[in-house]
Chain A
């Protein structure tokens, strides 16, 4: 199985900050990577697929990059509604796997 490792596991930031979350795959996955946002008590929401393509309706403050094994999710100008847990997931080969999550908290 391909292992996905996110860093950091948790992150404190202030409103207006720009933050970057990293996701590393244990082997190359081309650009078959998605990012999700999950708020407490809610289902995950799709943010990005294909490593850098925004899901419809997702604001451009979210951006993704990377290919192969190293990927990043960047969120600019943090707003209160952005504080949540973020997950990466590869879909290169079966079984798909998620990273362990990054909890973004308000400083």
Chain B
């Protein structure tokens, strides 16, 4: 069974750093892209970027390029989304999804940034 399991909810202060994770299981982790999607409170889905764990090829939406870093550790079948300096506007649920078509999704990680 394909599963993507994301790390738990985070509460951070503005300016802090954060790295959230998405662990894949039940399939060959290095053979499928993993994408990240943001959903701000009460809003729609926004595509952030995608990584191919097999060779770490990474693509970003211009809206998020330079704001976040996407990475993966294929030895532990885990993809990451990280911020070096959080803002209040980063408060959202972040989802990972497998493949270009988003065939399987993680359960989401709620990130709250507040002073």
Q: B-contacting residues of A (Cβ < 8 Å)? A: 1, 34, 36, 38, 43-46, 49-50, 55, 87, 89, 91, 94-101
Contacts and interface: CB of A to CB of B under 8 A. Distances in A.
Interface residues of B, number: 24
Contacts of B50: 94, 96
B44 A87 contact: yes
Interface in B34-63: 35, 37, 44-47, 49-50, 59-63
Contacts of B49: 95
Contacts of B45: 36, 38, 44, 87, 89, 98, 101
A96 B35 contact: yes
A46 B95 contact: no
Nearest to A85: B44
The A contact surface, by secondary structure, is loop
B103 to A, nearest CB: 5
Contacts, number: 62
15 contacts: A34-B101, A43-B95, A44-B37, A44-B95, A44-B102, A45-B105, A49-B103, A95-B62, A95-B63, A96-B47, A96-B50, A97-B47, A98-B44, A101-B44, A101-B45
A87 B39 CA distance: 12
Contacts of B108: 43
Interface in B70-87: none
Q: What 6 A-B pairs have minimum CB-CB distances, sorted nearest first?
A: A95-B61, A49-B101, A91-B100, A43-B105, A98-B45, A96-B47
